[in-house]
Structure 1
Amino acid sequence: MGVVLESTSLEWLSLGIILVSCVYLYYRNVFNFWKKKGVKYVEPVIPFGNSKELLMLRKSLAEFFKGFYDAFPNEPYMGIYEFNKPALLIRDPELIRQVLIKDFVHFQDRGVTYDEELEPLSAHLLFLTGSRWKNLRAKLTPTFTSGKIKMMYHLMEECAQQLKQSLDKPATNQQMMEMKEVMAKFTTDVIGTCAFGLQFNAIENEDSEFRKMGRRVFTSSFRDTLVRIIRTVCPSVLSLLKIKVMPQDIEDFFVGAVKETVEYREKNNYIRNDFMQLLIQLKNKGRVHHDDVVVENLKNGSIYEEIHEKATDIDFSDKLLTAQAFIFFLAGFETSSTTLSFCLYELALNPDIQDKLRDSIKAVVNKHGGKVTYDSLNDMPYLDKVVKETLRKHPPASFLVRNVTKPYVVPGTSLKLEAGLKVLISVYGMHRDAKYFPDPERFNPENFSSEAKSARPHYSYLPFGEGPRICIGKRFGLLQTKLGLATLLLNYAFSVCEKTEIPLRLNPTQFITSSSTGAWLRIKKCTTT
């Protein structure tokens, strides 16, 4: 009996050794990828690759990719491993231009795996690939022209006035307020009225369902982290096991809200100047009317023409409409609210800049009849500098991803990138590189003076991305951000308080760059004369 047990134990031990050896050999082969190609890389750790700190929630995504960006300061690119997947992080502005614009045909997709059948809300412009993305982008571009956005300005302005009314009392009492949440309520109401045509009432109502849902979408749990890892390592498992990234109740809520809105408008022939109306127009007529030169939506006319000349009709179904409304909501409120709160935080830490900005806003408003108008906001160069500097120091999208869609040889090298490989750009790393922005930890709006901008490469500043996949809502986001700031600074002053965290710690659980503790500031009324 003892001999049999001893034999069985040896068999299990041998099997264990074989399994461990196989795993080791597998990872050794995987982790030799960049060495074989002669690319410098950050040494991986089995089985995490270079993603252990991300898995352990020790770093935010912004800090995570910045760490790689800083690892080889003299290299144009370097190799990393997202668990068992090799990826190339590029840091040379000229190479970034090649990837995002000149050779875009090789890097058309973002490389995000999604299952449209399992999760209908995932079929939005951010995730779509290939010809479906190209055709949808062509159809949606007229929706975001300056003319269309200008028509919605009065809707934004109503939200700004509601924001002011809600802050008068706490400002009179010089209260401490968590401004990230305050700004999220404002941008939620703006996107509610402009994208959905609904009054979300997030500013006035603490129990606003849309604010609750927005908060839930951007609050990551352990499950969310695990699903993100599975999506990176083996995305087919999610589809096989029918695991959704988005909780079912959130999906049901947004699908129901959009369906109800569309049905009401179509049944009652109700027309409103907002994004929802433009989406309905696209669904029913197949196109959005061009009210101005749509090519302005992209800086490179040739790229615009290439996309739009080859674009074909797309079946803009109710599901596709709902997915676009969903991503408008998420991208519209969260990115702008974080930018607003980071900006107020920096202005509280730099009262001289706050005072200068307030004075400049007052001067322009006085020239425009004493009101914050669409035209007056476009006549505020110092406000523009302050917003750009906020996006430099705190870019909501801290990194960009492009998937190699056609094999590509990096110019001037023999390095060949095969289809399916991810290419990463650390926006946060570039924005804090002293080579492009002297004293990068200092909040300095003069980084965006004409002289400073001409002294650095164009593609060292990428808060909205670049090229054909540049953020389509860039104008909308900047407008609501500037309107919010102008309204606040004309009426209130912001200062640090005992709850203000200096420096801010970034939240390791959120995809969008945000602080762990919010932005606590003291607010008080100021004169507007």
Structure 2
Amino acid sequence: MGVVLESTSLEWLSVGIILVSCVYLYYKNVYNFWKKKGVKYVEPVIPFGNSKELLMLRISLAEFFKGFYDAFPNDPYMGIYEFTKPDRGVTFDEELEPLSAHLLFLTGSRWKNLRAKLTPTFTSGKIKMMYHLMEECAQQLKQSLDKPATNQQMMEMKEVMAKFTTDVIGTCAFGLQFNAIENEDSEFRKMGRRVFSPSIRDTLVRIIRTACPSVLSLFKIKSMPQEIEDFFVGAVKETVEYREKNNYIRNDFMQLLIQLKNKGKVHHDDEDAAENLKNGSHQEETHGKSNDIDFSDKLLAAQAFIFFLAGFETSSTTLSFCLYELALNPDIQDKLRDSIRTVVNRHGGKLTYDSLNDMPYLDQVIEETLRMHPPASFLSRKVTKPYVVPGTSLKLEEGQRILISVYGMHRDAKYFPDPERFNPENFSSEAKAARHHYSYLPFGEGPRICIGMRFGLLQTKLGLATLLLNYEFSVCEKTEIPLRLDPKQFITSSRTGAWLRIKKCASS
């Protein structure tokens, strides 16, 4: 019997050695992909590839990709591995997750057609029509801060700014009063927190999506909790039904979506037509073919959903990072406040749409904030056809992913001297003219550039100008210096928020 047991043990040991050897050889072959192509890479770790620290939530996305950017400073590109793949895109099952059917995740002709349909909703003329709605939210923000400013309280400004931008998106996108500024229990603010405060379940789904996305489809596991999907689909459906039933028309994003649903295109006004002519756009190209896309309630909800998320979170983090930097640099804060007052006085003492577009130093400060703290810390693009990188023998194959570390490039001394210092002069007309245009990419570039860029910048400028005309911001005992980035967030965000002391301006 002892001989039999010993024989069996040896057999199992042999099987184990063979299995381990097979796994090792498999990974060795997979992890030779970039070596065979002559591309430099950071040595991967079995079975995580280069993603271990990211998946273990030990590092933020911004710092993760910056690490690769800095690894080979003299090389124009390098290779990375996510688990066993040299490249992997994020894919979603639209049938399973209807809220994923928006511009950020769609690809190919479906993305192209939808982009063409939605582009007219974000022209300067359309956004200008929404300015008075933003202005009402800015006044509510001021009213909510007067008392704490009088008492010179410490406030977590990221949450304050998130309430402001949530209300702006509520009135401009949904045509609803979210009342996030005044009401701590605002349902839309709760949903916003829920999306950007991932649970353990959300984190596990994120890991599975990176490692083996087919598992999610196989077992019908959604990235987005059902309660969030039901909430947004229901809110959009109710709004659309109410407006159509009562023939209610309002100058906002939802009304433009209803136009797309019913007419297949967005109505152009004279200002839009002039803008299209200036940009070389043609009406036929902008509208697309009317039968390409069926604007169902769920497709409308997906567009409103991404507008809500991108609109409130990116702008609120930009505003809070900006206030943080201004608190650390009071001389810049004072200079900006004086420049805003000068322009406002020149425009009849009012903070108008035109006056905001006449504030070059405000633009510089916001651009510098977006340089140091880009909400989207990296860009992802997919190779659509074979391409040989100029000046090299590297051939990119169709389907491969190209990742650009925006955060890394924005903090590269080759493009921005003393990159860790907050310096709005990086965006003087002279500095911009001397720098490569594509060294600054807070909104992306090319056909997939952020479609809501102008809207986001407008609400950011309005919010910041309103605050600085009335209040001063300074560091306090709760201010974290330097800020640490949150590894759980997809958007560049601080772990502890932005705690600052607020007080009324002497002349406000």
Using structure 1 for the length normalisation, give the TM-score.
0.92
**Cα distance between partner residues in 2 of 1:121 and 1:472:** 18
- Classify 1:518/1:299 alpha carbon distance in 2 versus 1 (closer, same or farther; 3 Å): farther
- Classify 1:426/1:302 alpha carbon distance in 2 versus 1 (closer, same or farther; 3 Å): farther
- Classify 1:40/1:343 alpha carbon distance in 2 versus 1 (closer, same or farther; 3 Å): same
* Structure 1 stretches lacking a partner, 5+ long: 86-108
| Structure 1 residue 56: Cα displacement | 1.8
User: What count of residue pairs does the alignment treat as equivalent?
Assistant: 505
Matched residue SS, 1:77: coil
CA contact (8 A) 1:134 1:307 kept: no
CA shift digits 1:161-197 (9 cap, x unpaired) = 0000000000000000000000000000000000000
| Structure 1 residue 7: Cα displacement | 2.5
CA shift digits 1:129-168 (9 cap, x unpaired) = 1111000000000000000000000000000000000000
CA contact (8 A) 2:88 2:400 kept: no
CA contact (8 A) 1:407 1:417 kept: yes
- Classify 1:302/1:162 alpha carbon distance in 2 versus 1 (closer, same or farther; 3 Å): closer
| Structure 1 residue 396: Cα displacement | 0.1
Give % identity.
Answer: 90
- Classify 1:302/1:193 alpha carbon distance in 2 versus 1 (closer, same or farther; 3 Å): closer
| Structure 1 residue 23: Cα displacement | 1.2
- Classify 1:303/1:467 alpha carbon distance in 2 versus 1 (closer, same or farther; 3 Å): farther
CA contact (8 A) 2:119 2:286 kept: no
**Cα distance between partner residues in 2 of 1:110 and 1:171:** 48
Q: What residue number does 1:82 align with? A: 82
CA contact (8 A) 1:299 1:467 kept: no
| Structure 1 residue 72: Cα displacement | 0.6
| Structure 1 residue 291: Cα displacement | 2.3
- Classify 1:464/1:142 alpha carbon distance in 2 versus 1 (closer, same or farther; 3 Å): same
**Cα distance between partner residues in 2 of 1:127 and 1:152:** 27
| Structure 1 residue 46: Cα displacement | 1.1
| Structure 1 residue 237: Cα displacement | 1.2
| Structure 1 residue 10: Cα displacement | 2.1
CA contact (8 A) 1:175 1:522 kept: yes
CA shift digits 1:377-423 (9 cap, x unpaired) = 00000000000000000000000001122222212222111122110
Q: What residue number does 2:338 align with? A: 359
- Classify 1:264/1:304 alpha carbon distance in 2 versus 1 (closer, same or farther; 3 Å): closer
| Structure 1 residue 305: Cα displacement | 8.8
Higher mean C-alpha deviation, range 198-207 or range 76-85: 76-85
Higher mean C-alpha deviation, range 300-309 or range 260-269: 300-309
Matched residue SS, 1:402: strand
- Classify 1:110/1:469 alpha carbon distance in 2 versus 1 (closer, same or farther; 3 Å): farther
CA contact (8 A) 1:110 1:401 kept: no
CA shift digits 1:63-108 (9 cap, x unpaired) = 00000000111111111112222xxxxxxxxxxxxxxxxxxxxxxx
Higher mean C-alpha deviation, range 361-370 or range 14-23: 14-23
Matched residue SS, 2:245: helix
- Classify 1:76/1:305 alpha carbon distance in 2 versus 1 (closer, same or farther; 3 Å): farther
| Structure 1 residue 311: Cα displacement | 9.1
- Classify 1:144/1:433 alpha carbon distance in 2 versus 1 (closer, same or farther; 3 Å): same
| Structure 1 residue 4: Cα displacement | 2.8
Q: What residue number does 2:145 align with? A: 167
Q: What residue number does 1:421 align with? A: 400
**Cα distance between partner residues in 2 of 1:30 and 1:291:** 55
Q: Specify which of 430, 437, 454 is matched with residue 409 of structure 2.
A: 430
**Cα distance between partner residues in 1 of 2:347 and 2:496:** 38
CA contact (8 A) 1:286 1:313 kept: no
| Structure 1 residue 455: Cα displacement | 1.3
- Classify 1:19/1:297 alpha carbon distance in 2 versus 1 (closer, same or farther; 3 Å): farther
| Structure 1 residue 312: Cα displacement | 6.6
Q: Specify which of 235, 247, 251 is matched with residue 257 of structure 1.
A: 235
**Cα distance between partner residues in 1 of 2:278 and 2:503:** 41
Using structure 2 for the length normalisation, give the TM-score.
0.96
CA contact (8 A) 2:154 2:476 kept: yes
- Classify 1:5/1:295 alpha carbon distance in 2 versus 1 (closer, same or farther; 3 Å): farther
Matched residue SS, 1:34: helix
Runs of 4+ displaced beyond 6 Å: 297-300, 302-312
CA contact (8 A) 2:478 2:500 kept: yes
Matched residue SS, 1:41: coil
CA RMSD of aligned residues (A): 2.0
| Structure 1 residue 254: Cα displacement | 0.8
CA contact (8 A) 1:405 1:420 kept: yes
